[in-house]
Amino acid sequence: MGRPMQNTVVALVDIFIMLTQFLIWGLVIWAIMSWLVAFNVVNTYNGFVRAVINGLDKVYDPLVRPIRRIMPDFGGIDLSPAVLWLGLVGLQRLVPALLIDSGVMG
């Protein structure tokens, strides 16, 4: 009887890991795009580039805003995406470990 429930939990954990991995890769792309814009490597007058940047901003700005409020000012360096990255990676490791330790996942 416990077998189907365990399979469901494993599948849900796999989906959670895939979603967090997707967020991590998007975060990396967002950071690289912001650097390319800051150093005038890409032109924001291009409609596609502007759409990609605006879309990434809408996803990641709300995630890093609370981190920016807490972190001290480092001048021109924004470390909030790195803190978000560490948090997402930590969640990827923590959630399965907690489920295994609690006996939900074997």
Element at 14 (helix H, strand E): helix 2-38
Q: pTM of the entire structure?
A: 0.84
Report the residue count for the chain. Answer: 106
Q: What pLDDT does residue 4 have?
A: 66
pLDDT in tens, 67-89: 999 998 888 888 999 999 999 99
Q: What pLDDT does residue 82 have?
A: 95
pLDDT category of residue 106 using cuts at 50, 70 and 90: low
Higher-scoring residue by pLDDT: 105, 80: 80
Task: Count up the domains in the chain and report the number.
Answer: 1
Element at 58 (helix H, strand E): helix 47-70
Q: Which of 96, 73, 101, 105 has its CA nearest to residue 17? A: 96
pLDDT in tens, 9-18: 889 999 999 9
Q: Which domain holds residue 16?
A: 2-102
CA distance 76 to 81: 14
CB 29 within 8 A of CB 56: yes
CB 92 within 8 A of CB 27: no
